[in-house]
Amino acid sequence: MTALGAGGHRYVAVAILVLLSMAPATSGAGAQTRAEAADPTVLITGANRGIGLELAREYAAAGWHVIGTARKPDEATELKALGAEVEQLDVTDQGSVDRLAADLRGRPIDILINNAGIQLLMWKLGEVDIDKYNRTLAVNTVGPVRVTLALLPNLRAGDRKLIVNMTSDISSIANNTSGGFYGYRESKAALNMFTRSLAAELGPEGFICIVLHPGWVKTDMGGPKAPITVQESVHGILKVVDGLSPDDNGTFLTYAGERMAW
Ligand code: NAP
Protein backbone atom coordinates (compact mmCIF):
# COMPACT_ATOMS: atom_id res chain seq x y z
CA MET A 1 0.00 0.00 0.00
CA THR A 2 1.41 3.42 -0.95
CA ALA A 3 1.09 6.64 1.05
CA LEU A 4 -2.13 7.44 -0.84
CA GLY A 5 -4.02 4.42 0.43
CA ALA A 6 -6.96 2.76 -1.43
CA GLY A 7 -9.22 5.85 -1.20
CA GLY A 8 -6.41 8.09 -2.49
CA HIS A 9 -5.91 5.85 -5.52
CA ARG A 10 -9.60 6.14 -6.29
CA TYR A 11 -9.37 9.96 -6.22
CA VAL A 12 -6.30 9.92 -8.51
CA ALA A 13 -8.11 7.61 -10.96
CA VAL A 14 -11.18 9.86 -10.97
CA ALA A 15 -9.00 12.96 -11.45
CA ILE A 16 -7.22 11.33 -14.42
CA LEU A 17 -10.57 10.44 -16.00
CA VAL A 18 -11.83 14.01 -15.54
CA LEU A 19 -8.60 15.43 -17.04
CA LEU A 20 -8.84 13.04 -19.99
CA SER A 21 -12.43 14.09 -20.63
CA MET A 22 -11.27 17.75 -20.64
CA ALA A 23 -8.42 17.14 -23.12
CA PRO A 24 -8.76 18.92 -26.50
CA ALA A 25 -10.67 16.91 -29.07
CA THR A 26 -8.49 15.12 -31.58
CA SER A 27 -8.55 15.80 -35.28
CA GLY A 28 -7.58 13.97 -38.43
CA ALA A 29 -9.07 11.25 -40.59
CA GLY A 30 -11.60 9.16 -38.70
CA ALA A 31 -11.27 11.16 -35.47
CA GLN A 32 -14.29 12.86 -34.00
CA THR A 33 -14.36 16.21 -32.24
CA ARG A 34 -16.62 16.75 -29.24
CA ALA A 35 -18.89 19.06 -31.30
CA GLU A 36 -19.27 16.33 -33.90
CA ALA A 37 -20.14 13.82 -31.21
CA ALA A 38 -22.73 16.06 -29.58
CA ASP A 39 -24.47 17.56 -32.60
CA PRO A 40 -26.67 15.62 -34.98
CA THR A 41 -24.84 15.02 -38.25
CA VAL A 42 -26.01 15.44 -41.82
CA LEU A 43 -23.98 14.42 -44.87
CA ILE A 44 -24.82 16.26 -48.09
CA THR A 45 -23.31 15.30 -51.44
CA GLY A 46 -22.62 18.03 -54.01
CA ALA A 47 -22.58 20.65 -51.26
CA ASN A 48 -20.23 23.16 -52.91
CA ARG A 49 -22.94 24.97 -54.90
CA GLY A 50 -26.66 25.13 -55.66
CA ILE A 51 -29.20 23.38 -53.45
CA GLY A 52 -26.49 21.36 -51.66
CA LEU A 53 -24.65 24.50 -50.53
CA GLU A 54 -27.85 26.09 -49.23
CA LEU A 55 -28.76 22.86 -47.40
CA ALA A 56 -25.32 22.96 -45.79
CA ARG A 57 -25.81 26.61 -44.82
CA GLU A 58 -29.22 26.05 -43.22
CA TYR A 59 -28.30 22.86 -41.39
CA ALA A 60 -25.14 24.53 -40.03
CA ALA A 61 -27.20 27.54 -38.92
CA ALA A 62 -29.60 25.18 -37.14
CA GLY A 63 -26.71 23.73 -35.12
CA TRP A 64 -26.10 20.55 -37.09
CA HIS A 65 -22.67 19.16 -37.79
CA VAL A 66 -22.48 19.29 -41.58
CA ILE A 67 -20.30 16.99 -43.66
CA GLY A 68 -20.42 18.49 -47.14
CA THR A 69 -18.85 16.75 -50.11
CA ALA A 70 -17.27 18.37 -53.13
CA ARG A 71 -15.44 16.99 -56.15
CA LYS A 72 -12.80 19.70 -55.66
CA PRO A 73 -12.64 20.55 -51.94
CA ASP A 74 -9.90 23.16 -52.52
CA GLU A 75 -12.41 25.22 -54.51
CA ALA A 76 -15.31 24.78 -52.06
CA THR A 77 -14.63 28.10 -50.34
CA GLU A 78 -18.26 28.95 -49.53
CA LEU A 79 -18.83 25.52 -48.01
CA LYS A 80 -15.67 25.80 -45.88
CA ALA A 81 -16.70 29.29 -44.74
CA LEU A 82 -19.82 27.74 -43.18
CA GLY A 83 -17.63 25.69 -40.85
CA ALA A 84 -18.68 22.48 -42.58
CA GLU A 85 -16.42 19.46 -42.62
CA VAL A 86 -15.51 19.16 -46.30
CA GLU A 87 -14.84 15.74 -47.82
CA GLN A 88 -13.73 14.96 -51.36
CA LEU A 89 -16.28 12.90 -53.29
CA ASP A 90 -16.91 12.08 -56.90
CA VAL A 91 -19.91 9.75 -56.83
CA THR A 92 -18.83 8.08 -60.08
CA ASP A 93 -15.48 7.02 -58.62
CA GLN A 94 -15.60 3.97 -56.33
CA GLY A 95 -12.13 4.82 -54.95
CA SER A 96 -13.39 8.25 -53.90
CA VAL A 97 -16.48 6.72 -52.24
CA ASP A 98 -14.30 4.15 -50.43
CA ARG A 99 -11.98 6.90 -49.13
CA LEU A 100 -14.98 8.85 -47.82
CA ALA A 101 -16.27 5.76 -46.01
CA ALA A 102 -12.81 5.09 -44.56
CA ASP A 103 -12.49 8.71 -43.34
CA LEU A 104 -15.88 8.50 -41.64
CA ARG A 105 -15.57 4.96 -40.25
CA GLY A 106 -17.19 4.65 -36.83
CA ARG A 107 -18.95 8.03 -37.00
CA PRO A 108 -22.74 8.10 -36.74
CA ILE A 109 -24.57 10.00 -39.49
CA ASP A 110 -28.20 10.95 -38.83
CA ILE A 111 -29.23 12.10 -42.29
CA LEU A 112 -27.78 11.31 -45.71
CA ILE A 113 -28.86 13.65 -48.50
CA ASN A 114 -27.89 12.27 -51.89
CA ASN A 115 -28.10 15.64 -53.61
CA ALA A 116 -25.31 15.58 -56.25
CA GLY A 117 -26.74 15.35 -59.73
CA ILE A 118 -26.35 16.38 -63.35
CA GLN A 119 -28.73 17.20 -66.16
CA LEU A 120 -27.34 16.88 -69.69
CA LEU A 121 -30.17 18.09 -71.88
CA MET A 122 -31.37 15.75 -74.62
CA TRP A 123 -34.83 16.85 -75.76
CA LYS A 124 -35.51 14.66 -78.81
CA LEU A 125 -34.59 11.10 -79.73
CA GLY A 126 -32.22 12.46 -82.39
CA GLU A 127 -30.29 14.32 -79.67
CA VAL A 128 -29.72 11.28 -77.49
CA ASP A 129 -25.99 10.73 -77.04
CA ILE A 130 -25.17 7.41 -75.38
CA ASP A 131 -22.09 8.78 -73.63
CA LYS A 132 -24.16 11.58 -72.05
CA TYR A 133 -26.89 9.05 -71.23
CA ASN A 134 -24.41 6.77 -69.45
CA ARG A 135 -22.87 9.68 -67.54
CA THR A 136 -26.30 10.80 -66.36
CA LEU A 137 -27.10 7.35 -65.01
CA ALA A 138 -23.62 7.06 -63.45
CA VAL A 139 -24.05 10.28 -61.44
CA ASN A 140 -27.78 10.35 -60.71
CA THR A 141 -28.53 6.65 -60.18
CA VAL A 142 -25.38 4.63 -59.53
CA GLY A 143 -23.83 7.48 -57.51
CA PRO A 144 -26.46 7.50 -54.74
CA VAL A 145 -26.42 3.68 -54.68
CA ARG A 146 -22.63 3.65 -54.12
CA VAL A 147 -22.78 6.35 -51.44
CA THR A 148 -25.70 4.76 -49.60
CA LEU A 149 -24.05 1.32 -49.53
CA ALA A 150 -20.76 2.79 -48.33
CA LEU A 151 -22.32 4.86 -45.53
CA LEU A 152 -24.92 2.36 -44.33
CA PRO A 153 -22.91 1.44 -41.19
CA ASN A 154 -22.73 5.16 -40.27
CA LEU A 155 -26.46 5.61 -40.88
CA ARG A 156 -27.30 2.50 -38.84
CA ALA A 157 -25.36 4.08 -35.97
CA GLY A 158 -27.22 7.39 -36.31
CA ASP A 159 -30.31 8.38 -34.32
CA ARG A 160 -32.48 9.71 -37.14
CA LYS A 161 -31.82 7.06 -39.83
CA LEU A 162 -33.00 9.25 -42.72
CA ILE A 163 -32.01 8.81 -46.35
CA VAL A 164 -33.17 11.62 -48.63
CA ASN A 165 -32.57 11.08 -52.33
CA MET A 166 -32.94 14.19 -54.45
CA THR A 167 -35.18 13.39 -57.38
CA SER A 168 -37.23 15.54 -59.75
CA ASP A 169 -40.91 15.91 -60.53
CA ILE A 170 -40.10 14.93 -64.11
CA SER A 171 -39.06 11.46 -62.91
CA SER A 172 -42.75 10.69 -62.41
CA ILE A 173 -43.78 8.02 -64.94
CA ALA A 174 -47.46 8.72 -64.23
CA ASN A 175 -47.08 12.43 -65.08
CA ASN A 176 -44.91 12.05 -68.19
CA THR A 177 -47.08 13.04 -71.11
CA SER A 178 -44.60 15.30 -72.91
CA GLY A 179 -41.44 13.18 -73.21
CA GLY A 180 -38.05 14.86 -73.56
CA PHE A 181 -35.33 15.14 -70.90
CA TYR A 182 -33.94 11.81 -72.08
CA GLY A 183 -31.55 10.22 -69.63
CA TYR A 184 -32.40 12.61 -66.78
CA ARG A 185 -35.98 11.35 -66.36
CA GLU A 186 -34.84 7.73 -66.48
CA SER A 187 -31.94 8.31 -64.07
CA LYS A 188 -34.23 9.78 -61.43
CA ALA A 189 -37.02 7.23 -62.02
CA ALA A 190 -34.45 4.49 -61.31
CA LEU A 191 -33.34 6.38 -58.20
CA ASN A 192 -36.98 6.44 -57.10
CA MET A 193 -37.21 2.67 -57.48
CA PHE A 194 -33.97 2.14 -55.56
CA THR A 195 -35.40 4.30 -52.78
CA ARG A 196 -38.60 2.24 -52.61
CA SER A 197 -36.49 -0.90 -52.23
CA LEU A 198 -34.35 0.78 -49.55
CA ALA A 199 -37.53 1.78 -47.74
CA ALA A 200 -38.85 -1.78 -47.83
CA GLU A 201 -35.61 -3.35 -46.63
CA LEU A 202 -34.51 -0.74 -44.09
CA GLY A 203 -37.92 0.38 -42.79
CA PRO A 204 -38.06 -2.45 -40.23
CA GLU A 205 -34.76 -1.13 -38.79
CA GLY A 206 -36.35 2.27 -38.19
CA PHE A 207 -35.12 3.98 -41.36
CA ILE A 208 -37.15 6.53 -43.29
CA CYS A 209 -36.09 6.65 -46.94
CA ILE A 210 -37.69 9.15 -49.31
CA VAL A 211 -37.24 10.81 -52.68
CA LEU A 212 -37.71 14.55 -52.69
CA HIS A 213 -38.40 17.01 -55.51
CA PRO A 214 -36.81 20.35 -54.57
CA GLY A 215 -38.96 22.41 -56.94
CA TRP A 216 -37.73 24.13 -60.08
CA VAL A 217 -34.96 26.13 -58.47
CA LYS A 218 -32.70 29.00 -59.60
CA THR A 219 -29.33 27.21 -59.65
CA ASP A 220 -26.81 26.42 -62.37
CA MET A 221 -29.00 23.42 -63.20
CA GLY A 222 -32.41 25.09 -62.84
CA GLY A 223 -31.37 28.27 -64.69
CA PRO A 224 -32.43 31.89 -64.14
CA LYS A 225 -36.04 31.34 -65.30
CA ALA A 226 -36.78 28.96 -62.43
CA PRO A 227 -39.63 30.29 -60.27
CA ILE A 228 -38.16 29.60 -56.84
CA THR A 229 -34.95 30.57 -55.07
CA VAL A 230 -32.62 28.09 -53.38
CA GLN A 231 -33.64 29.62 -50.04
CA GLU A 232 -37.35 28.95 -50.69
CA SER A 233 -36.59 25.41 -51.78
CA VAL A 234 -34.30 24.62 -48.85
CA HIS A 235 -36.61 26.16 -46.21
CA GLY A 236 -39.28 23.78 -47.51
CA ILE A 237 -36.94 20.79 -47.62
CA LEU A 238 -35.80 21.31 -44.01
CA LYS A 239 -39.40 21.55 -42.85
CA VAL A 240 -40.37 18.40 -44.73
CA VAL A 241 -37.35 16.42 -43.50
CA ASP A 242 -37.84 17.63 -39.93
CA GLY A 243 -41.46 16.47 -39.96
CA LEU A 244 -40.87 12.99 -41.41
CA SER A 245 -42.50 10.09 -39.61
CA PRO A 246 -42.40 6.33 -40.26
CA ASP A 247 -45.58 6.71 -42.39
CA ASP A 248 -43.50 8.70 -44.88
CA ASN A 249 -41.05 5.86 -45.47
CA GLY A 250 -40.94 5.08 -49.20
CA THR A 251 -42.76 8.21 -50.37
CA PHE A 252 -42.11 10.73 -53.16
CA LEU A 253 -42.49 14.21 -51.66
CA THR A 254 -42.03 17.77 -52.87
CA TYR A 255 -40.23 20.57 -51.01
CA ALA A 256 -43.74 21.81 -50.12
CA GLY A 257 -44.58 18.51 -48.43
CA GLU A 258 -46.99 17.26 -51.12
CA ARG A 259 -46.99 13.63 -52.21
CA MET A 260 -46.22 13.04 -55.89
CA ALA A 261 -47.51 10.29 -58.15
CA TRP A 262 -44.86 7.71 -59.06
P1 NAP B 1 -26.25 22.22 -59.47
O2 NAP B 1 -26.35 23.62 -59.04
O3 NAP B 1 -25.91 21.91 -60.89
O4 NAP B 1 -25.22 21.47 -58.48
C5 NAP B 1 -24.95 20.11 -58.68
C6 NAP B 1 -24.02 19.61 -57.60
O7 NAP B 1 -23.77 18.21 -57.87
C8 NAP B 1 -22.65 20.30 -57.61
O9 NAP B 1 -22.16 20.41 -56.29
C10 NAP B 1 -21.78 19.34 -58.41
O11 NAP B 1 -20.40 19.42 -58.14
C12 NAP B 1 -22.34 18.01 -57.90
N13 NAP B 1 -21.93 16.92 -58.77
C14 NAP B 1 -22.10 16.78 -60.10
N15 NAP B 1 -21.52 15.66 -60.54
C16 NAP B 1 -20.97 15.06 -59.45
C17 NAP B 1 -20.22 13.88 -59.24
N18 NAP B 1 -19.88 13.06 -60.27
N19 NAP B 1 -19.82 13.56 -57.99
C20 NAP B 1 -20.13 14.37 -56.95
N21 NAP B 1 -20.80 15.53 -57.08
C22 NAP B 1 -21.22 15.86 -58.32
O23 NAP B 1 -27.62 21.43 -59.19
P24 NAP B 1 -28.83 21.78 -58.19
O25 NAP B 1 -29.82 22.55 -58.94
O26 NAP B 1 -28.30 22.29 -56.92
O27 NAP B 1 -29.46 20.32 -58.00
C28 NAP B 1 -29.26 19.53 -56.83
C29 NAP B 1 -30.11 18.28 -56.96
O30 NAP B 1 -31.50 18.65 -57.12
C31 NAP B 1 -29.76 17.41 -58.18
O32 NAP B 1 -29.85 16.05 -57.84
C33 NAP B 1 -30.85 17.77 -59.18
O34 NAP B 1 -31.09 16.73 -60.11
C35 NAP B 1 -32.03 18.01 -58.27
N36 NAP B 1 -33.05 18.89 -58.87
C37 NAP B 1 -32.79 20.20 -59.16
C38 NAP B 1 -33.79 20.98 -59.72
C39 NAP B 1 -33.56 22.44 -60.04
O40 NAP B 1 -34.50 23.09 -60.57
N41 NAP B 1 -32.42 23.03 -59.75
C42 NAP B 1 -35.06 20.44 -60.00
C43 NAP B 1 -35.29 19.10 -59.69
C44 NAP B 1 -34.29 18.34 -59.12
P45 NAP B 1 -19.40 20.26 -59.13
O46 NAP B 1 -19.50 21.70 -58.70
O47 NAP B 1 -18.06 19.65 -58.88
O48 NAP B 1 -19.88 20.06 -60.53
Reply yes or no on whether the pLDDT at 28 is more than 90.
no
With bands split at pLDDT 50, 70 and 90, how would you rate the model's confidence at 39? Answer: confident
Hey, whose CA ends up nearest to atom 10 of ligand 1? 46
Assigned CATH topology for domain 40-254: Rossmann fold (3.40.50)
Hey, whose CA ends up nearest to atom 29 of ligand 1? 115
Reply yes or no on whether the pLDDT at 19 is more than 60.
no
Q: Where are the domains of the chain?
A: 1-37, 40-254
Reply yes or no on whether the pLDDT at 8 is more than 60.
no
Q: What is the mean pLDDT of residues 10-39?
A: 41
pTM of the shown model: 0.89
pLDDT for 14 equals 36
DSSP lists the bridge partners of residue 112 as 43, 163
Q: What is the mean pLDDT of residues 198-221?
A: 98
* Cβ of 48 less than 6 Å from ligand 1: yes
Reply yes or no on whether the pLDDT at 15 is more than 80.
no
With bands split at pLDDT 50, 70 and 90, how would you rate the model's confidence at 37? Answer: low
118, 231, 252: which to mutate for ligand 1, most atoms within 8 A of CB?
118
Cα separation, 14 vs 17, whole angstroms: 5
Quick: pLDDT tens for 69-87.
999 999 999 999 999 999 9
Reply yes or no on whether the pLDDT at 223 is more than 50.
yes
- Ligand 1 centroid–CA 84 distance in Å is 18
Reply yes or no on whether the pLDDT at 129 is more than 80.
yes
**Contact assessment for residue 115 and residue 168, using Cβ atoms and an 8 Å cutoff:** no
